[in-house]
């Protein structure tokens, strides 16, 4: 997982990326030292739960992708079914350019996170 995240960060110029469980536990991550992985996990868990609740109340389905734009960066959360890929990018990053790379990393990670019985 970490090699996929490292490749994603280098190709998108991301500040970091993590894979988290629905309850915010960090499974894997490649993130710059000034950002704490567990804080990113907790924040993304809260955002996913609150957004899913609103989507369900509006009968709009479940969260597939979320982009939060802040003053100093963007947070992109992509559903991997039971997990989430969270990517932190620069405020100047063009979403239409990084989205295909994030989608490809998401597909690779989804294959790794699917248990086969």
How does pLDDT run along the chain (117 residues), one tens digit per residue? Answer: 999 999 999 998 888 999 999 888 999 999 876 678 888 888 888 998 899 899 999 999 888 999 999 998 999 999 998 899 999 998 898 889 999 999 999 999 988 877 555
Tell me the C-alpha distance between 50 and 62, whole Å. 11
State residue 6's pLDDT score.
94
- The answer to whether residues 51 and 79 touch, using CB atoms and an 8 Å cutoff, is no
State residue 43's pLDDT score.
87
- The answer to whether residues 67 and 75 touch, using CB atoms and an 8 Å cutoff, is yes
Inter-residue long-range contacts of 101-106, CB under 8 Å, 24+ positions, other chains counted: 101/8, 101/11, 101/12, 102/8, 102/12, 102/76, 102/78, 103/78, 105/4, 105/5, 105/7, 105/8, 105/17, 106/78, 106/80
Rounded to two decimals, what is the model's pTM? 0.89
Class of domain 2-113: alpha beta
State residue 18's pLDDT score.
94
Tell me the C-alpha distance between 46 and 50, whole Å. 6
Tell me the C-alpha distance between 65 and 33, whole Å. 25
What Rg, from alpha-carbon coordinates, does the chain have?
A: 13
State residue 115's pLDDT score.
59
Tell me the C-alpha distance between 58 and 62, whole Å. 10
């Amino acid at each position: 997982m970490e090699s996929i995240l490292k490749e994603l960060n280098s190709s998108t110029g991301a500040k970091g990326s993590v894979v988290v469980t629905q309850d915010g536990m960090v499974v894997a991550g490649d993130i710059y030292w000034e950002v704490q992985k567990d804080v990113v996990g907790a924040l993304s868990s809260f955002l996913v739960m609150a957004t899913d609740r609103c989507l369900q109340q509006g009968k709009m389905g479940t969260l597939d992708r979320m982009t939060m734009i802040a003053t100093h960066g963007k947070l992109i959360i992509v559903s991997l079914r039971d997990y989430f890929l969270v990517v932190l990018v620069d405020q100047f990053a063009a979403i239409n350019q990084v989205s295909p790379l994030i989608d490809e990393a998401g597909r690779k990670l989804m294959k790794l996170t699917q248990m086969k019985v």
